[in-house]
Amino acid sequence: MDSGFWSGPDRIKIPQGELRLLSAREALDARREGDAMARDGRERALCRNACLIARALERHGKPVFDGGEAVLAALRVEDVARLADAWAAFNRECNPSPLDGGEEISRRKKAWSTRIMSAFSGACSACSALCPPRSGQNA
C-alpha cells in the first residue's frame, strides 16, 4: 500500500514476518469474508480476525496465507487473537481516532506540525531578507 500523504510506516516487523496496514477496501473485504465463513455470531470475531491476518501478514512481500480458511487451519485461536491485536495496535498508532481523547490527538497534531515546520525552516529566509517586515502606523 502506498503511504500517500501519510509519511509514517505502512508495515511493522514481527517474528512471523511483517504486518502491513490495510486499505479500507481490504479491511471491508476481510470483514465480509469472515462473515461468510462464520456459522453463527460466536464465530464471527475469530473468522474476521483470521481473514484480516491473511491479508495483513506477509513474508518477503508475499502473503503468508491464501485466505482466512488457511489461517484457521494453521494457527491456534490464541495466535490469531495475538496477531489481530498486534495489527490493531499498529493501525491505531498510525490512524488516530477521536475516541483516543483530546490529549492524545493534541500530542499527535503537535508532533505532525513540528515535523512539517522543521522541513521548511530557513526555506524563505532569502525572500524575507528582500522584504523585511514593516513596523509603524502605515505598515
Residues in the chain: 139
pLDDT at 3: 46
Percent of all residues in the chain with a pLDDT value above 70, rounded to a whole number? 65
Give yes or no for a contact between 45 and 77, defined as CB atoms under 8 angstroms apart: no
Place 1 in a pLDDT band, splitting at 50, 70 and 90.
very low
16 three-class SS: coil
Record the cell numbers describing residue 104, joined without a space: 492524545
∠ CA 29-82-39 to the nearest 5 degrees?
Answer: 50
- 10 Å CB burial of residue 42 (0-12, 13-18, 19+) is exposed
Record the cell numbers describing residue 72, joined without a space: 484457521
Pairing of strands 11-14, 17-20: antiparallel
Asked if pLDDT for residue 10 goes beyond 90, the answer is no
Other beta carbons within 10 Å of 87? 22
CB under 8 Å, gap of 24 or more: what pairs does 120-124 form? Answer: none
pLDDT at 101: 66
pLDDT tens digits for range 43-80 = 999 999 999 999 999 999 999 999 999 999 999 999 99
Of the two residues 6 and 38, the one the predictor is more confident about is 38
What does the domain layout of the chain look like in residue ranges? 11-95
Alpha-carbon span 8 to 112, nearest angstrom: 10
Sheet of 17-20: strands edge to edge? 11-14, 17-20, 57-59, 62-63
